[in-house]
Amino acid sequence: MGEKIPKTKIEWEIVKLVREIRNAKNVSQAKVAKMLGVTSGYIGQIEIENSPSMYTYDQLNKLATGLECSLKDFMPEKPVII
């Protein structure tokens, strides 16, 4: 089977920002999953650093709508050093 590549540093920064906003608004993984039409287990996988699972751009757009924020809020202010 093919090797699963973990998230890149920028992907992990995006996930952390999404989680930070989600937690600040008291939104559960289950509610995020419902917004995106996926399982809460999948959201849990996304929120694990070494998992290759990641949000798509369309999912990030839906999250920005659901969490009432901007897509920009999911992006780090400065470039991530690789």
Segment 17-73, tens digit of pLDDT: 999 999 999 999 999 999 999 999 999 999 999 999 999 999 999 999 999 999 999
Q: Give the rounded distance of the alpha carbon of 12 from its chain centre.
A: 8
C-alpha dihedral sign at 61, 54, 45, 79: negative
More confident residue, 13 or 3: 13
Q: What angle do CA 25, 76, 60 make, to 5 degrees?
A: 55
- Residue 4 is predicted with a pLDDT of 76
Tokens 């419902």 found at: 34
- Residue 82 is predicted with a pLDDT of 79
Contact call for residues 43 and 32 (beta carbons, < 8 A): yes
Q: What is the pTM of this model?
A: 0.91
